[in-house]
Amino acid sequence: MTKPLTKNINPDRVFTTLADYECSGGYQGLRKAVKELQPKDVQQWVKDSGLKGRGGAGFGTGLKWSMVPGIDTPQTRYMIANADEMEPGTFKDRMLMEQDPHQLIEGLIIASYAIQANIAYIFLRGEYHLARQRLENALQEARAKSYWGEHILDSEFSLDIILHTGAGRYICGEETALINALEGKRATPRAKPPYPLVSGLWGKPTVVNNVETLCNVPHILNYGVDWYLGLGHGADKGTKLFGASGRVKRPGLWELPMGTPIREIIEEHAGGIKDGYKLRGFLPGGASTDFLLPEHLDVAMDYEAITKAGSRLGTGTLIVLDDKTCPVQMVLNLEQFFAQESCGWCTPCRDGLPWTVSLLKDIIAGKGRLEDLDTLAGLTRMLGPGNTFCALAPGAVEPLQSALKYFREDFERYIVKEAA
């Protein structure tokens, strides 16, 4: 079984019911965790599996859990599934929640057991109406079978799960902004330290994990660490939902081993570029990653390889740029989104992103100057890592900084054309 995340997703049925899920081994990982393993044993299993966060950061999941202090002592702890999927070009978590909601619920319960959290939240993007409906139904089914609630499966472990829909802000993908939103506050990032693992939701230890990350957990418990280690192609383990959008013949999602070459994703699974178009570049991990070029097609989709190539794996969902789409206008579209979604908490992001939008609009309208390109390049440095309160602005300028590097002639064409 090489595709654990999507094994229950069947085009012949609308979505996976509880009966379907149980028939394929569902909730057996939970049984193993609460009946055979101690919480620290579960942490160690996940740590040994090499599972990294699938939300973009790529931090070790088991390591993150092990940093929660004092799980041997009774106190309130929280587990949160980050389902606020708002990264442009990314739709992997949506598919998992709509098509196999019990997989997320089981993963969330196991994770809660591993850190001894007694309350868990699913923080869901407000626009995901179908996902909400199916998660609500699945939660009711799981509660009726004692998979969550008081004394789960007749054990000493109890857990309450709350499904919370957000108000629709990109910034809520940042874990501390998400926590503020859950508390009913303005969704702005918090200063760190203290980190949520120590002081998170209402000042209590809190772990936030991405939906896809949690969906891996039941299979690690059910099939074992060695099985999971055998799924990846390289240093990164397991499988990943990779996607492609843009002018490809078959846009979509595919569960593939970590380390799958980009060429295989675009040419085999996505069917290649549409007839009459040529590949010019792509964003490998959603909108907030740097452009890569056709020369990077043989790079493996894993964290280290993509970083060495000059970008980030991010969410693993490719946005393809073809030769008939203007990269300047594509970047403007992205910068407008990020400028709108800035929470306004820090000056570089609040003022810098609208400035990039203004300059790009002037360039496209024929009002630009060559020195504007140097200004844009300077802005990408000023909004880079370490200069802003959170990672929104550094991610927002990644497509811009790489477009200036690889497609500078497109920017200059607008300026020189008007100057002539």
pLDDT tens string 67-90: 999 998 999 999 999 999 999 999
User: Which two tokens mark 347?
Assistant: 């000056």
Specify whether the CB–CB gap between 335 and 357 falls below 8 A.
Answer: yes
Q: Measure the CA–CA gap between 86 and 243, rounded to whole angstroms.
A: 15
Q: How many CA atoms lie within 13 A of 408 on its CB side?
A: 11
What confidence category does residue 9 fall into, taking pLDDT thresholds of 50, 70 and 90? very high
Q: How many CA atoms lie within 13 A of 390 on its CB side?
A: 22
What confidence category does residue 418 fall into, taking pLDDT thresholds of 50, 70 and 90? low
Pairing of strands 78-83, 206-210: parallel
Identify the CA nearest to 138 among candidates 33, 4, 21, 9.
Answer: 21
**Is pLDDT of 344 > 60?**
yes
Residues of each domain in the chain carrying CATH 3.40.50.11540: 18-229
CA distances from 55 to 21, 43, 58, 88, 226 (A): 24, 19, 7, 13, 24
Q: Which CATH class is domain 327-419?
A: mainly alpha
Note the pLDDT of residue 174.
94
Specify whether the CB–CB gap between 43 and 65 falls below 8 A.
Answer: yes
Residues of each domain in the chain carrying CATH 3.10.20.600: 239-322
**Is pLDDT of 11 > 90?**
no
CA distances from 385 to 175, 337, 379, 380, 394 (A): 17, 19, 12, 10, 6
Kindly report the average pLDDT of the chain as a whole number: 96
Q: Which CATH architecture has domain 18-229?
A: 3-Layer(aba) Sandwich (3.40)
Note the pLDDT of residue 399.
98
What confidence category does residue 93 fall into, taking pLDDT thresholds of 50, 70 and 90? very high
Identify the CA nearest to 330 among candidates 297, 366, 301, 291.
Answer: 291
Q: Measure the CA–CA gap between 83 and 209, rounded to whole angstroms.
A: 9
Type of residue at 67: M
DSSP, res 300: B
Q: Which CATH class is domain 239-322?
A: alpha beta
Note the pLDDT of residue 194.
94
CA distances from 417 to 274, 368, 410 (A): 30, 10, 11
Span 250-278, pLDDT tens digits: 999 999 999 999 999 999 999 999 999 99
DSSP, res 45: H
Identify the CA nearest to 281 among candidates 262, 307, 255.
Answer: 262
Average pLDDT over residues 272-294: 98
Span 362-401, pLDDT tens digits: 999 999 999 999 999 999 999 999 999 999 999 999 999 9
Note the pLDDT of residue 252.
97
In the block, residue with structure tokens 């055979």:
36
User: Could you tell me which residues come within 8 angstroms of residue 49 by beta carbon, excluding any fewer than 6 positions away?
Assistant: 62, 220, 225, 228, 229, 237, 238
Q: Using CB atoms within 10 Å of the CB of residue 322, give its burial: 0 to 12 exposed, 13 to 18 middle, 19+ buried.
A: middle
Note the pLDDT of residue 417.
64
Note the pLDDT of residue 420.
47
The secondary structure of 156-172 as a DSSP string is S--BEEEEEE--S-GGG
CA distances from 48 to 51, 72, 113, 221, 238 (A): 8, 21, 17, 11, 12
Note the pLDDT of residue 195.
95
Residues of each domain in the chain carrying CATH 1.20.1440.230: 327-419
Specify whether the CB–CB gap between 282 and 291 falls below 8 A.
Answer: yes
In the block, residue with structure tokens 């890569």:
292
What confidence category does residue 232 fall into, taking pLDDT thresholds of 50, 70 and 90? confident
Phi, psi of 229 (to 5 degrees): -65, -25
**Is pLDDT of 153 > 90?**
yes
